[in-house]
Structure 1
Amino acid sequence: MAPMATEGVVRKITFTVDNTYPYPQSSKPVVGVNYAFPGPTIEVNENDTLQIRVINKLPQGTTLHWHGLFQRGTQDMDGAVGATQCPIPPNAEMTYTFKAFPGGTTWYHGHYLDQYADGLVGPLIIHRAYEPSQALYRTERTLIITDWYNDVCRTTLNSWYLSPSNPDAIEPIPDGIAVNGKFSESLFVNANGEKLIRFRIINAAAFSMYTVSIDGLQLKIIELDQTPVKPYTVSSFAINVAQRVSFCVDLNQFNQSIVPSGLAPTKSIYIRITAMADMYPVDIATYIPPYKTPSVLFPTFFNPSYLAYLTFGSSNSLPTYPAHQEGSNPPPPGNISDTNLLDARPFYRTNIPNANHYLKLVVDFYEDSSGIVRAYFNDITYGSNPLNLTSTKKLKKLRSSPNIPLLYQMTQAPNGIDIPPPIITSDSPLPSIQSDKYGHYLIPYGAVVDIYIENRDAGEHPFHLHGYSFWIIATSENPQAENLYAGDYVQRDTVSVPASGWAKLRFVANNPGAWLFHCHIEWHMDAGLLAAFIVGPQQLAAQKFTYVPPPKKFCQ
């Protein structure tokens, strides 16, 4: 049983979002927070109230999404343009006020115009009143991993990716990897003499999956996304975009035998973060994209191997052994292909109700009538019905637009949203959730929904649900999990769906609002791989939720 929640305090923070130039070798503008990349770490206690004033100094609109937070009662603070708010215009500001819940390791990021791929990211650490694995660590370190592109994503790369000149829909390949804003072989993580360390790993990349390991050490995983799990020992693990993994290490267990005889004992070891090359649609060792801008930082080919240094003391030191010597890399864990780590057990066993509704989502990519390859859920690419912005009528049909949020539309006509009710289909004996053919799915409040994602694409996809976490019942890489762990499934807010495979999820629709469900690869969001779950519009009204329209200039 989880410990009782306690009320927190009010934390006031001011963020300025603007372009910054953190690297003298690069002329690329990075979207930073308070002129830093990544943005400042927010560190609070569970149930604190956050009041975050966001001042936009960019020449275009912006927003911030607080990944993994439920936003119960503050649905308009989710930061999803078109779903819960209009973008913050240039030279304007908005204050986000919400509860820091649930606790755990998460992050904030832009949710508009590819700004998160251009640097608008930062860690958000929410400490629980009681951490179930606290005995395993005495200090913490946070590593936020990002893809680095030499070119600006929101202009150069997006316009190339979504164009007829890219008929194979090749996603822009990163030029490098940055961890805490540092490139390979420049990040030192000092233990300062501590032996028991917790690492919080955040994959804030736009595209890449990674494996993570530390030479000579076993990793005890204690948290997946924001779910505490029973300590689960691996030698390395995979992490997809938007997922988070916390693990503990014990430096007392480090064995100096990995240092070849004749060399001095090492006072530091390598942290290895490796992009999984098989997820890219091209051979990264030879591929040169047509838009390529040479850079002093990364002139030609993407190197998928990133090295950081874990130093035992308080001063920076390099390992005494070669980075690529035989035996310095630990063997992979038993099921490295199971990115979701379904074999890890949740620390707290929860009551998992039986499903009473069903939703099948088929993922596919193909050309539209303009010769541009789009992404589709059930043959619908999101945003294909732009709203006539001159209309101010209360509409029963929901429309996808950055200028009239779905949440606002729900409050205007809670009893008249024109989306078909669930029906019985051949896919399931349960009532199947229907859409309006524009990517909006009306989900009854309180429904227990099984989502079956059929991935017809040859690439792996990380899918994230706003406003909720879900139980991962099974995937095509771990189909036995459904029976093996029945009643004790792990909860996450981002699931990695295998290439040409499937995943089965379950969630309880008890948080009314307009919540996006989307692939977290930035390029796939651009291509339309999103859906909007419209949950309980009548319940939203019954809870007396009031959507306060922002200043008029926000939604012009």
Structure 2
Amino acid sequence: MGLISVVLNTLALTFSLDQILTNGASTLGLLTSPLLPKFLINNPLQDGFPWGNHDCTNTNPYKQELDTGVTRTYDFTISRRVLSPDGYEKSLISVNGQFPGPLIQANWGDTIVVKVTNNISTPLEGTSIHWHGFLQHSTQWMDGTPGFTQCPIAPGKSFTYKFKAELYGTTWYHAHYSSQYTDGVIGPIVIYGPNQKNYDYDLDVGPILLSDYYHNSYESTVETLLAPRPKLPPLKPVSDNNLINGKMNFDCSTAADKRVKCSNNAGLSKFRFQTGKRHRLRLINAGADASQKFSMDGHQMTVIENDFVAVQPYNTSVVTLGVGQRTDVIVTGLSDPKGTYWIRSNVTCAEAKQPYALAALYYPDASSTALPTSFPLHTPSISCDNDALEKTIPTYPIGPRNPDQTYVLDLTAGQNASGVWLWTMNNLTFRADLSQPVLLQANKGNLTFPPAWNVINTGSAKSYRFIFNNNSPLPHPMHFHGHNMHILAVGRGKWDGKTIVRPENPQRRDVQMVPEFGYMVWQASADNPGAWAFHCHIAWHAATALTVDILEQPAKIKGLQIPSSVEQTCAEWRAVVATSQIEQIDSGV
């Protein structure tokens, strides 16, 4: 196929000015938000689809690369802007002036190009964007993780990311510089691909981002977490609100700072259903800390996908999402054309002043100004465990080979000599050197790293297994970059050393909840030479050292042809750091 370049202007949408200026200036969650297509039609088609006859039952996406020849181009500017997503004014760090940021769309096999410009000022900050769940085969330096695959983008500078849509489904992008994304640098990504024929859909409602929300800046939260204090349990930051697509009302009488401009009627996200039609909802936990319990009054959901992996459909009334996880569901519209219902997302396993979010669902003849009066089907449990591994069966079966290497990671927490509470992995706390990414060091042949970088060199292993022991009273959504993990076993207590759930086709995903005082056994194929972060996706835990760097196939990293723009970005970053205008306040990720 010939090369086609498609430039998408992310702000040129047909919404009135008052709609665009609502809440966080985002066009998500409006009744006028367009439904998503089955795929983008400006591709060459084979057998009626951009991806031809490939589907979720006959193609292994990890081994069979698709290339449509189409490039989708975006232009992002990261800058501060005063917004009030829930009515409480705050200086957010926005993407193109929006929170959440604009939607990225592509077809399976397309190439995505995003120019990111760092216009953050007062104070100056670095930034980078991580394309969550993208494998980055052959573009390992585009993962967007400072200290691992690149240096931060310096203030006033730009970096252009270019990578392939190797998998399809729903995901998101977010800053990976400190806990910066919790102040606004997030947005949805939809990669169109084949659907399971027995559970096709009529209407794609699109991405639904769920996020706990904090009125304090991320810097103040991190500085509080990293302040020396007496021997007490680690602090748990308390969120002020919970949002659906960046919207939710807030009771201004409870505001910590009464001087801040605040409105009690910020508004809610709204969605439209059609009677009898099947609707696809793309759920994303884009929050900082809280797991989310998503439900829809009066409606059942059919799960069809987790974290870019199509699964055999199963029904549920509640979807549990740890931070970073995504689940796509099909929901059939009810018969009453005048129906109105609450959509709910409840915080669990985190501290929150307002532990729920609401959105309104309207059928065609319902008044869009009337608030629903519906009740939930039942009260969700307080557990933030994911659905049982026995329930989540990948549609395309893959059984991992016997591992060449097995590692044990023991997670604990405690105070260092300065009285700061930090997480440790095998008794080591993590702190990245943002000016010296491990990938670039390994590319130059340097494989000796300081202990604080927590590098685990898997050598020439073709497959490796990790036994992760969570010796803490808190659950953790553990995320691995550059791969879908085979999740072999999850539970409380200690793994018995032999039980594996469905060894011929274990669950695959890139984030998995690990229960308190529990374990996760996971495995990956070493088919992607690089420096890959394995970390807790709770922003406050990552900031306080809950990370390791898995160095895969270092001998092959030496042969990677890394573009000069990556080293140029490092040179620009080091020049700013040398002026002492920027201070690394936490682990860096």
TM-score (norm 2): 0.78
Return the match for 1:353 from 401, 419, 423.
401
Q: Which residue of 2 aligns with 1:392?
A: none
Equivalent of 1:45, from 107, 114, 120? 107
Match of 1:550 in 2: 568
Give, in whole Å, the separation in 1 of the partners of 2:540 and 2:365: 40
Per the TM alignment, residue 192 of structure 1 is displaced from its structure 2 partner at its CA by 5.2
Counterpart position of 2:97: 35
- In 1: Cα distance, 2:133 partner to 2:347 partner: 24
AA in 2 matched with 1:2: N
1:136 aligns with 2:187: no
Give the secondary-structure state (helix, strand or coil) at the position aligned to 2:180. coil
Of 455, 463, 466 in structure 2, the residue corresponding to residue 451 of structure 1 is 466
CA distance in structure 2 between the partners assigned to 1:62 and 1:320 by the alignment: 40
| 2:326 aligned to which of 244, 252, 264 | 244
Query: 5 Å matches for 1:19-418?
Result: 19-23=80-84, 25-59=87-121, 60-128=125-193, 130-133=194-197, 135-141=199-205, 142-154=207-219, 156-165=220-229, 167-184=232-249, 186-191=268-273, 195-252=277-334, 266-276=338-348, 279-280=349-350, 302-313=353-364, 317=368, 322-323=373-374, 325=375, 328-330=376-378, 338-342=385-389, 343-383=391-431, 400-413=432-445, 417-418=447-448
CA distance in 2, matches of 1:268, 1:165: 50
Secondary structure, in 3 states, of the residue corresponding to 1:524? helix
1:219 Cα offset (Å): 0.9
1:503 to 505, 511, 520: 520
CA RMSD of aligned residues (A): 2.5
Does residue 539 (structure 1) correspond to residue 556 (structure 2)? The answer is: yes
Q: Any conservation in 2 of the 1:216–1:330 contact (CA below 8 Å)? A: no
Deviation at 1:27, TM superposition (A): 3.5
Q: Distance in 2 between matches of 1:484 and 1:70?
A: 24
Q: Say if 2:76 is the partner of 1:15.
A: yes
SS at match of 1:35: coil
Name the counterpart of 2:66: 6
Q: Does the 8 Å contact 1:237/1:336 carry over to 2? A: no
1:468 aligned partner: 483
Alignment gaps of 5+ in structure 2 = 1-56, 250-266, 576-589
CA–CA distance in 2 between the matches of 1:152 and 1:409? 33
1:485–1:541 distance in 2 versus 1, CA, 3 Å? same
In structure 1, what is the Cα distance between the partners aligned to 2:414 and 2:454?
A: 17
Tell me if structure 1 keeps the 8 A contact 2:276–2:332.
Answer: no
| Counterpart contact for 2:149–2:437, Cα < 8 Å | yes
Secondary structure at the counterpart of residue 550 of structure 1: helix
Aligned residues with identical type, % of pairs: 29
Distance in 1 (CA, whole Å) between partners of 2:89 and 2:369 is: 30
Kept after mapping to 2: 8 A contact 1:404/1:555: no
Structure 1 340/406 Cα, relative in aligned 2: closer, same or farther at 3 Å? Answer: farther
Q: Would the aligned equivalents of 1:235 and 1:332 in 2 still touch at CA under 8 Å? A: no
Cα distance between partner residues in 2 of 1:402 and 1:544: 21
Structure 2 CA distance for aligned equivalents of residues 7 and 249 of structure 1: 32
Equivalent position amino acid for 1:43 in 2: Q
1:329 deviation in Å? 2.5
Provide structure 1 residue ranges, at least 5 long, that are not aligned to the other structure. 257-264, 285-301, 384-399, 420-434
Query: Residues 183-223 of structure 1, C-alpha deviation per residue, up to 9 Å, x if partnerless?
Result: 15611111256721011100011000111111111110000
Which AA in structure 2 matches 1:307? L
| CA offset digits 1:145-186 (Å, max 9, x no partner) | 1221111112x1111111124743212111001111111561
Q: Give the match for residue 535 of structure 2.
A: 518
TM normalised by structure 1 equals 0.82
CA contact (8 A) 1:18 1:34 kept: yes
Q: 1:318 to 1:248 in 2, by over 3 A?
A: farther
